[in-house]
C-alpha cells in the first residue's frame, strides 16, 4: 500500500500538482485513521492531505480514477465477462472450480503451480493486480510514449508475468487430472477454461498498458499547458487559451499586488513622529507608551497608456489592459488611449465594474475611434501631442504598446520626443522581436532614441517583467 501511495504521489507531481514530503506523510497518517473500505472516503482523505488548490481538484480526480480504481474494476469486469462466456457454453465456472479443488486435494503433494497460475485459478484479483503491476514495472511500461508501443509493452509485460509458464503449469494440471480419470467432458471444459483465462489475462495486460499510456499523456498535456501558456506568443492564442490566459493574468496581477503591499509596509519604518506620538498618548498623560513613526511616502506612479488596437497587436493590448485594470489601485491615476490611426481616450473603461467587458470595450475603440483603418502611428501621436499633452506631467510614466508598423506614413518622431521630455519615463512595448525593428514599414528605429525603456513583449513572462519594472 505504501508503495502504491508513493507511486501515486509521483504521478501527481509529474502532472504538475505539487505534493511535498510532509504532505505525503500526512496522507499515510490519514489512511491509518480510516477504514479503507469506502472508496470515496479514501479519495477524499488523500485529496485533503495532498491537493490544496481548487483548480487542481479536477486533475486529481481524473488521475485518481486512472490510477486507483479503474484497473481493478476492469480486471474484475474482464473475469466477469469470462464467466459469462463460459456459462454460454454450458460451463458452470463455480462447479468446475470446486470439482478442481477436490481433485487437487486428492493429488499428491508434488503439485507445483506457479503463483500466477494459482492466482488465476482462484480468481484472486488483488493478487493478480499486484503481479501485473510488478511485471509492468519490470517491463518498463512507465516509459511508454505513444499508441504504437502498446503492443510491444503488453508483450513484454506478459513475458515478465510468466504467462507462458503458467499455461504450461495449467496444461500439466489437466494432464494429471486426465491420468486420475477425469471424464472427457470435464477435460474439455478445463481446456476451455484455460484458454479463456489466458485470453482474459492478455486482455487485461493490454488494458493496463493503455492506461499507463493515458497517464503519461495526461502528465505531458498538463505540464505542457501550464508551462507553455506564460511563454506562448500572444499572436497564436486560441479562444480557449485567451480564456485561460485571463486567469493567469489575474493571478499574476494578484501576486504583484502582494509584493507591493510588502514593499509598502517596509517603507513605513521612518523616524519618530513626535507630534503624532504625543497626540496618540494623550489618554495616558502624554507618557509615550505608544510610539508613532513617520512614514516615508513613495509616490504611486501616474500612468498614461497608449495602446495600438489594430488587429495585429490586439492580443497584447488585451492582456496589458487587463493587467493594468487589475493593478489600478497601485497607481494614482491611469489614463488610457487607444489608436489605430485616430486616437481617442477610453479612460472611462477603468470605471467599468467588470474587467473582461472593460477590456473588450477598450479594444473596440470605445466608440471614439474607427478601428477598421490602417495603422498610422505618426498621425496618432500628433493627435495626442495636439490635444492630450496636458495629461502628462513629470510624475507620469507613459506606456506605448504597438508594433510601429507605420504603413510607410510619416513617423513624426518629434511628437514622441516632446512626450518624453514632459514625462517621467516613456516605455515602449513592442510585440515584435528586436531583429524586425526598423525593417520594412517598421519605424521602431525612429522612435527608439526617445524611449527610456524599449522591451520586446509578446508573452506573459515578458509582460509581467515589464510591469514589475514600472512599479518599482
Partner 1 sequence: MFQSVDDVIQQLGDQDYICDKQIATVVFLAQQLDKPVLVEGPAGVGKTELAKVISQALGREMIRLQCYEGLDEAKALYEWEYSKQLLYTQILKDKVSETIADAANLADAADRVGDEDSVFFSERFIVPRPLMQAITSEEPTLLLIDEVDKSDPEFEAFLLEILSDFQVTIPEIGTIKARSQPLVFLTSNDAREMSDALKRRCLHLWIDYPSEELEVRILDRKVPNVDKRLAEEVVTLMNKIRALDLKKTPSISETLDWARALLALNADELEEGIVGDTLNVILKYEGDVQKAQNELSKLIEKKTVQAQAEKPQPAPDETAKKGILH
Residues that bind partner 1 (CB under 8 A): 18, 20, 22-23, 26, 29-30, 33-35, 38, 40-41, 44-45, 47-49, 51-54, 57, 251, 254, 257-258, 261-262, 265, 283-285, 287, 289-290, 353-354
Q: Which is nearer to partner 1, 236 or 266 (CB)?
A: 266
Nearest to partner 1 of 259, 389 (CB atom): 259
**Cα distances (Å, whole numbers) of residue 364 to 111, 306, 429:** 83, 14, 20
* Residue whose CB is less far from partner 1, 27 or 194: 27
Q: Give the residue among 411, 417, 407 at the shortest CA–CA distance from 385.
A: 417
Q: 168-192 burial string, b = 16+ CB within 10 Å, else e?
A: ebbeebbebbeeeebeeebeebbee
Measured from the CB atom, is 269 or 386 closer to partner 1? 269
Q: Which of 3/53 has CB closer to partner 1?
A: 53
Grid cell locating 331 = 497607481
Q: How many C-beta neighbours within 10 Å does residue 257 have?
A: 14
Relative orientation angle of helices 125-138 and 184-231, to the nearest 10 degrees: 50
Among 421, 419, 447, CA closest to 432: 447
Nearer to partner 1, 51 or 309 (CB): 51
- Comparing CB distances to partner 1, the nearer of 56 and 383 is 56
- Asked if residues 460 and 319 have their Cβ atoms less than 8 Å apart, the reply is yes
CB-nearer residue toward partner 1: 326 or 376: 326
Q: How far is the CB of 54 from partner 1 (least distance, A)?
A: 5
What CA–CA distance (Å, rounded) separates 349 from 265?
Answer: 30
Q: Which residues contact 51 (CB under 8 A, 6 or more apart)?
A: 12, 17, 19, 57, 60
What is d(CA 16, CA 223) in angstroms, rounded to the nearest whole number? Answer: 6
CB closer to partner 1, 54 vs 109? 54
Kindly tell me which of 32 and 367 has the beta carbon lying closer to partner 1. 32
Nearer to partner 1, 45 or 349 (CB): 45
Compute the least distance from the CB of residue 33 to partner 1, in Å: 4
H/E stretch holding 345: strand 343-345
CA torsion through residues 444, 450, 454, 458, sign: negative
- Contact (CB, 8 A) for 267 and 300: no
87: left (phi over 0), alpha (psi -120 to 50) or beta: alpha
Chain Cα centroid distance, residue 6: 22
- Give the nearest distance from C-beta 384 to partner 1 in angstroms: 33
Residues 6+ apart with CB under 8 A from 329: 257
What does the CA dihedral 204, 210, 216, 218 come to, rounded to 10 degrees?
-110
Rounded to a whole number of angstroms, the minimum distance from the CB of residue 164 to partner 1 is 45
Q: Find the DSSP H helices in 65-183.
A: 70-88, 93-106, 115-122, 125-138, 150-161, 163-179
Q: Least distance to partner 1 from the beta carbon of 32, Å?
A: 9
Q: Which C-beta is closer to partner 1: that of 188 or that of 261?
A: 261
Which residue intervals of 21-114 are DSSP H helices?
Answer: 21-33, 39-50, 57-64, 70-88, 93-106
Q: Please, what is the minimum distance in Å from the beta carbon of residue 22 to partner 1?
A: 6
User: Shortest distance, CB of residue 254 to partner 1, whole angstroms?
Assistant: 5
Amino acid at each position: 500500500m505504501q508503495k502504491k501511495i508513493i507511486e501515486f504521489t509521483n504521478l501527481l507531481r509529474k502532472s504538475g500538482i505539487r505534493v511535498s514530503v510532509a504532505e505525503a506523510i500526512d496522507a499515510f497518517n490519514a489512511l491509518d485513521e480510516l477504514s479503507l473500505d469506502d472508496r470515496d472516503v479514501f479519495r477524499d482523505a488523500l485529496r485533503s492531505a495532498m491537493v490544496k488548490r481548487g483548480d487542481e481538484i479536477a486533475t486529481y480526480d481524473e488521475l485518481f480514477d486512472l490510477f486507483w480504481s479503474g484497473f481493478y474494476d476492469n480486471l474484475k469486469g474482464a473475469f466477469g465477462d469470462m464467466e459469462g462466456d463460459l456459462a454460454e457454453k454450458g460451463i458452470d465456472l463455480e462447479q468446475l472450480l470446486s470439482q478442481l479443488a477436490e481433485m487437487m486435494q486428492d493429488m499428491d503433494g508434488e503439485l507445483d503451480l506457479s503463483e500466477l497460475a494459482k492466482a488465476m485459478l482462484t480468481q484472486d484479483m488483488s493478487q493478480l493486480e499486484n503481479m501485473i503491476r510488478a511485471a509492468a514495472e519490470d517491463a518498463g511500461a512507465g516509459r511508454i510514449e505513444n499508441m504504437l508501443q502498446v503492443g510491444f509493452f503488453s508483450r513484454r509485460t506478459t513475458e515478465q508475468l510468466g504467462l507462458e509458464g503458467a499455461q504450461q503449469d495449467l496444461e500439466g494440471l489437466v494432464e494429471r487430472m486426465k491420468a486420475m480419470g477425469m471424464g472427457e467432458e470435464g477435460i474439455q471444459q478445463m481446456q476451455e477454461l484455460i484458454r479463456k483465462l489466458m485470453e482474459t489475462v492478455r486482455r487485461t495486460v493490454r488494458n493496463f498498458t493503455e492506461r499507463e499510456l493515458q497517464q503519461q499523456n495526461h502528465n505531458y498535456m498538463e505540464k505542457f499547458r501550464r508551462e507553455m501558456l506564460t511563454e506562448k506568443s500572444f499572436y497564436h492564442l486560441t479562444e480557449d487559451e485567451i480564456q485561460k490566459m485571463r486567469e493567469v493574468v489575474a493571478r499574476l496581477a494578484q501576486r504583484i499586488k502582494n509584493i507591493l503591499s510588502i514593499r509598502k509596509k517596509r517603507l513605513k519604518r521612518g523616524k519618530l513622529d513626535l507630534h503624532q506620538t504625543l497626540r496618540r498618548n494623550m489618554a495616558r498623560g502624554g507618557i509615550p507608551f505608544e510610539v508613532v513613526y513617520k512614514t516615508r511616502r513613495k509616490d504611486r506612479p501616474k500612468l498614461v497608456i497608449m495602446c495600438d488596437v489594430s488587429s495585429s497587436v490586439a492580443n497584447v493590448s488585451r492582456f496589458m489592459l487587463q493587467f493594468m485594470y487589475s493593478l489600478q489601485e497601485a497607481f494614482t491615476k491611469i489614463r488610457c488611449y487607444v489608436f489605430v490611426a485616430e486616437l481617442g481616450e477610453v479612460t472611462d473603461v477603468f470605471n467599468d465594474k467588470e474587467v473582461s467587458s472593460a477590456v473588450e470595450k477598450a479594444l473596440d475603440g470605445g466608440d471614439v475611434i474607427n478601428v477598421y483603418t490602417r495603422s498610422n502611428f505618426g498621425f496618432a501621436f500628433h493627435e495626442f501631442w495636439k490635444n492630450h499633452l496636458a495629461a502628462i506631467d513629470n510624475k507620469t510614466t507613459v506606456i506605448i504598446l504597438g508594433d510601429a508598423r507605420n504603413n510607410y506614413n510619416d513617423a513624426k518622431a518629434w511628437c514622441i520626443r516632446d512626450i518624453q521630455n514632459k514625462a517621467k519615463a516613456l516605455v515602449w512595448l513592442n510585440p515584435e522581436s528586436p531583429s524586425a525593428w526598423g525593417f520594412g514599414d517598421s519605424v521602431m528605429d525612429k522612435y527608439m532614441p526617445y524611449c527610456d525603456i524599449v522591451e520586446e513583449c509578446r508573452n506573459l513572462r515578458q509582460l509581467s517583467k515589464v510591469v514589475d519594472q514600472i512599479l518599482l
